[in-house]
Amino acid sequence: MTIQFNDESFRDDYTFHNSDWAIKRFPFPFHEDSYMYSVNMEQHKGGPEGSVYEMRFDVDEHYVSEMKDRALVLDQDPLRCQSLPHMTLAGWDLLELIMVSKSEDYPDLFELHRNGNQWRWINKPMGIDHSFTFMDETTLPYGPMEYITRQAQGDFVVLDQRDEMLWMDAGMVTTQADWSLDFDIGMNFFEWHAPVPKAHEMGIFKRALKFLLNIQQGAPARRLNWTMTVNPLLDTSPENYHQWGIQKTTLTPENIGHKQHLRVELQTFFRLPRSNALVFPIRCYLCSFQDLMTAPKWGRRLHRVIRDLPDELATYKGFIDNRPMMLDYLSQFDDGLPTSAGVWPDLETEPPLAK
C-alpha cells in the first residue's frame, strides 16, 4: 500500500483537499433518503478493500497534515488532552492497541518490535524511531495515551466502566464537533449526551449504553455520526467558537459548493485488556458539497435528507440558518429519480443526473 500524503492546512488558508480516491471512499452516512437518530451500531470487523472500514484505524492521505494540526492545537491549549490518575493503565492499553494495529495493517508505514517490555516503534510518515520500556512512563516524552494519540488520526475518548456506567475519564480531543473535553471530563454517559435533542425521549442512549457495556475484547463495534462545517476546519471546539462560528456567515450561493462540508465521524469502540476500559475513537472525515456531488446518488440523497430533517436536529447540528441556501444548491443535483439502498456511491449503476 502506497499513500501519497497531502501537504495541506485545516485553518487560515484552508488548503485541505480530497483526491478522487478520498472522495470515493468517504464514509457517506445516509443509507436511505431520510435520517433520524438510531443506535446504528455494527461490528467493526473490517469492510470492503480500500474503504475506511477495512482497517482497525484508518490511515489516509490527510494523516501527516492532521497530526501537524493536532500539535498546533495542543501547543495553544494543552487541556485538549487529559487523563485522570486512575487511567494510566488504560493509556498503556491504548498505546499497545494502536501500535499493534497499525504495524499489522500498514507494515510499509509502521513497525513495532517487541522483546519483552523493550519495545521499538517506527512511524515512517512522521519520522519517528523510538525505543522505550512498555509500562515505564519515564521512557516516553508524554504519557502513553498522549504519546500515541499524537500519532493517530481522530479523537480518542477513554471510558472507565464502573457501577454499570461509562465515565469519560481520559481523552485526546482536538477535532471535535462543538463539545469540550475539559468540560466533560469525569462525566458519565448520560451527562455528556444531555444536550442531544429527541434521542433521550426515543430511548436511544439507554439502548446504546447497554450495548457498549457489553462490548467484549476482540469484538469492536462502530457507527457513523454527522454534522456540517463551513470550511475544512478540524478544530470546531467550544473554546474556539469565536473563531469558527462566525465563518457560518461567510457562505454565499457562489461559494457554498466548496466552503460547506459534510462532516462525518467514524466512531469505533474497543474493549481494552488490562484496564477493562472502553476506548472510543472518533475519526473525522470532511468532504465539500461540490466533491460529494460527483456521486449522483449522494447528491440526490443529501438534498432529501437536509430538506426533510426536523428543525430541532438542524438547529442542534448548527446549520438551521444556512439550510435554505444549502437546499437551493443541493436541489440542482436532485432530479427526483430513486436512489439505491445503502451508503455506497454505486457509481457504476446509479444513473447520471437527468437535468
Q: What are the CA-CA distances from residue 65 to residues 9, 15, 60, 93, 216 (Å)?
A: 7, 11, 10, 26, 33
CA 84 from centre of chain:
23
In the chain, the DSSP E strands lie at: 42-43, 81-83, 110-115, 118-123, 128-133, 155-162, 165-172, 221-230, 260-271, 278-288
Q: What are the CA-CA distances from residue 234 to residues 45, 188, 243 (Å)?
A: 27, 25, 12
Rounded-to-integer distance, Cα 247 and Cα 166, Å:
35
Catalytic residue among 11, 56, 223, 301: 223
Asked if 79 and 146 count as a contact pair (C-beta separation under 8 A), the reply is no
- β-bridge mates for residue 260, sequence order: 230
Closest listed residue to residue 70, CA positions, set 143, 174, 179: 174
Known catalytic membership, residue 223: yes
Rounded-to-integer distance, Cα 342 and Cα 355, Å:
24
And the C-alpha cell for 203?
430511548
Give the 3-state secondary structure of residue 261: strand
Tell me the residue type at 333: F
Residues identified as active-site? 223
